[in-house]
Structure 1
Amino acid sequence: MLSQIRPAIVMIGLFTALTGLVYPLAITGVAQLAMPTQANGSLIEGDGTVIGSTLIGQNFVSDRYFHGRPSATTAPDPADPSKTTDAPYNASNSMGSNLGPTSKKLVDRVNAAIEAEFAAGRIDVVAADAVTTSASGLDPHISPQFALAQASAVAKARNLSEMQVRALVEANTEGRVLGVIGEPRVNVLLLNMALDRLK
């Protein structure tokens, strides 16, 4: 019996070391050499301080900035830890709402978001991503249509011409990967940083 247990224990130890230590360390080393920025979270720094990541959205609330799509992420309620409260772009709790297309709650939330967007006067056309959440709740991108719909309100808040702001959106629109994969998109953080650089 010992002759069967000993090889099994040796194999468990060997494969634990290989798959649990050697492989992850090797992949981490290759990633650090091949693409260090992406391997470290695609962080963006300004004045020596990390201000965000191109991979995780942020909750911009000022009218002076473009807004990202809604986020369904939550966090524990500080008043009652047994409950949750909305916490947009909470990276420690990445998730979507998990509400299906026939859900009355989803329909009511989307209709309320549409009404809120029009009431705020920020947009004149509602793009789908203006009122729907992504699967992760952390999507850093919006469609060019949603960005352009916000251009007028952002230009007004910053005393810029709408043409300047629309040109900035166009300049920050990323195309499809290899020309065929995905959809054109705008990274909200990068767009807002470009906006801050406008004089």
Structure 2
Amino acid sequence: MKKYLLPSIKMTLIMILLLAVLYPISIALLSKLAPGGGKGQTVTVNGNVVGYARIGQKFTQDKYFQSRPSAVDYNAAGSAGSNKGPANPDYLKTVQDRIDTFLVHNPGIDKSQVPAELVTASGSGLDPHLTPAAAKIQVKRIAAIRKLDESSLNILVDQYTDGPLLGMFGPSTVNLLALNIALDKMK
């Protein structure tokens, strides 16, 4: 028994040292090299912090591009999805309510045109990006409210669209915070 017990205790202590002490310390030190020093990359406008570059936030006014819904109400301390399956009645009701709300705020859009990402939460609940199509479907509403030309808003969306990673991995995306900041700067 001593033959197996002592090596097991040694291995447990080594793994505790590696995984509970050295690994977290190394990750904390590496995060200091990231933009924002591991505390998130803040976005400032006129000297005021207005959000984080990689964390989604809620835009409720119709004069802004609306974000993807969040299952955690954009709380970065509790990143999570809803964990409800696509056949769950509560989930289906939530999605239908989001579709109905979107259609009320975007008259002239048919239900079949509503991008899924505008009515379903991301896995983390904090996704700051939309596809260009999901941003452009909101252009008509914003142009009417702000009395701007739709073509200039479409150009703005194109300017804030990032292509796929390395030109081939993933979809093109639009960071909504950056887009809405640029929208406020338009005259």
Where on the TM-score scale, by shorter chain, does this alignment land: which range?
0.7 to 0.9
Write the letter of the residue equivalent to 2:28.
T
Structure-2 separation of matches of 1:41 and 1:62: 25
Structure-2 separation of matches of 1:7 and 1:100: 45
Deviation string 1:27-59 (CA, Å, 9 cap, x unpaired) is 4334423x3337331221223332111221111
Structure-2 separation of matches of 1:163 and 1:38: 39
Q: Structure 1 regions of 5+ residues with no counterpart?
A: 74-87
Judge conservation of contact 2:32–2:38 (CA < 8 Å) in 1. yes
Write the letter of the residue equivalent to 2:133.
Q
* RMSD between aligned residues: 2.8
Judge conservation of contact 2:74–2:125 (CA < 8 Å) in 1. yes
Task: Give 1:153 deviation, angstroms.
Answer: 0.8
Structure-2 separation of matches of 1:112 and 1:27: 41
Structure-2 separation of matches of 1:123 and 1:186: 23
Task: Give 1:121 deviation, angstroms.
Answer: 2.3
Structure-1 separation of matches of 2:129 and 2:165: 14
Judge conservation of contact 1:123–1:150 (CA < 8 Å) in 2. no
Q: Equivalent residue of 2:125, what SS?
A: coil
Deviation string 1:66-100 (CA, Å, 9 cap, x unpaired) is 00011122xxxxxxxxxxxxxx2122222222111
**Pairing partner for 2:174 from 153, 163, 186:** 186
Judge conservation of contact 1:122–1:150 (CA < 8 Å) in 2. no
Aligned residue for 1:69?
A: 68
Deviation string 1:136-192 (CA, Å, 9 cap, x unpaired) is 211111121110000111112112111111111111111111122211111111110
Q: Structure 2 regions of 5+ residues with no counterpart?
A: none
With over 3 angstroms needed to count, the CA separation of the structure-2 counterparts of 1:106 and 1:123, relative to structure 1, is: farther
TM-score normalized with structure 1 length: 0.77
